[in-house]
Amino acid sequence: MKQTCAVIGSGIGGISSAIRLAKKGYEVTVFEQSPKAGGKISEIRLDAFRFDTGPSLFTLPELVDELFVLCGKNPRDYFNYVPLEASCKYFWPDGTHVTAWSDTHRFANELHEKTGVESSTTLRFLDKCRTLYDLTADVFMFNSFHRPANFLKPAYRRSLVNLHKLDAFTTMHRRNKKWFRHPKIVQLFDRYATYNGSSPYKTPATLNVIAHLEHNLGAWFPAKGMYDIVASLSKLAEEMKVEFRFNSKVEEIIFDDSPYTTSPRPSHNKRHKKWWPFDGGKKVTGLIVDGEILPYDLVVSDVDVAKLYKHLLPGETIPARQLKQERSSSALIFYWGIHNHFDKLGLHNILFADDYKKEFDHLFDTKSITPDPTIYIFISSKAVTTDAPKGAENWYVMINVPENTGQDWDALVKEARTNIIRKINRMFETDIEQHIVTEAMADPRSIEKDTASTNGSLYGLSSNGMFAAFNRHPNFKKKLKNLYFAGGSVHPGGGIPLCLASAKIVDQEITV
């Protein structure tokens, strides 16, 4: 009889874990409280407009392809994507604008033309980012550093030998300021801290590795939009006989010491001590789903780890470091159907704040929104023409905002919307509000409700601090046998590539 596995949550970490475990031979069931798969990667339709609602930048596409290849499938039969000629367009209040061409030499020349920064400086910086990736990827992204045996591997030894090259003892902003000195280019590269909801003034410079993914390895876009990542992987999972149960609420994870466990725990004595390898621990035996007790041999959680401990692990105390570490930022997003076409804008666009430090002080210190926020505008119809009617565009307009700690969000959203519109009008000499024909909105309250993200934090814990990476929850705990953890709130972190990597780590840790 096949061993059984339950996956809680159908975010990208949950779906990819389900695929890997089905390939391993498990009978896998995915429980999702929402009516469809995806977690933070979702979509909405407003009139004739379609919007991706979650992550919008696609890097390391080979991690998605890998899942199809693992199952003996041709990825191109399921999922297609195209390289971007430019990863982003950047705009500053004084009229300066820079296109981040995917060709690194062209990008370096663009920076030189617009700001005077020598092309060789930019290229050397990107080489440094490549070195960071080479030294850290196997250690921090694709393996668990919560298993001591891993530290004997060559990649770990190489990282320790080159510890001085990892830039862990200075912040991203300090390092970037030393590299470039030009404030606009410092700001451009500081922005990568926001990719995991952190502040460049607090996060270690090691996180400059993110720039390598976008500039050296390249940015891509799915041919049918970001949600097609979920749709394609869901199809693969179903072909691998994974069962999806939507609108199903998991109420508790059951262990062998639960009063209603499906499998009694052996007595803890000398006879059983060798058989029971985790002294003082307990073993998963199933779930309670919508009031029903269901037995499973193992469980993978793709749930925000703070929510998991609070609601699904009665009697277990969340690790203290999960409470002490600063949480990541959240987002305020407007979905606007725009009855116009803006040639100046590309697929991904950034309208920078004039005072970047002030913006992050608001985010993490006063827990409020600066009057002049950096605005991200994502227009998928630039790549997928069917996402908007002819002569129109679908604008995903986002600013970073703090986690929900009880602020007056109605007032903050109203004020932020006014400031966003004023800034767009000023920078593009338009009256954007007259072009908005349909609108929806998301803020930390709705993000928490829709994605079960604690306080609406998009990435769980932030990376604000030298040891932040070590504070992330591990992918397993030896005292909770047969329970594994995937997704953006655990090691190695948030974002599509890291969620896929978390599933890969879980796969490595599970032996049939």
Domain definitions of the chain by residue range: 103-216, 329-454
Task: Report how far residue 448's alpha carbon sits from residue 462's, in angstroms, rounded to the nearest whole number.
Answer: 16
Backbone angles phi, psi at 431, to 5 degrees: -125, 85
Reply yes or no: is the peptide bond before residue 264 cis, omega within 30 of 0.
Answer: no
pLDDT at residue 436 is higher than 80: yes
At residue 185, the 3 state secondary structure works out as helix
> In percent, how much of the chain has pLDDT > 90?
85
Distance of CA 229 to the CA centre of its chain: 14
pLDDT tens-digit readout, 73-87: 999 999 999 999 999
Distance CA 499, CA 459 (A): 10
How confident is residue 381, by pLDDT bands cut at 50, 70 and 90?
very high
pLDDT mean over 386-399? 98
Taking domain 329-454, whether its CATH number is 1.10.3470 is answered by no
How many residues make up the chain in this entry?
A: 512
Overall pTM > 0.75:
yes
- pLDDT single digits (tens) 237-281: 999 999 999 999 999 999 998 776 655 444 433 333 333 344 458
Q: Can you give the pLDDT at residue 143?
A: 86
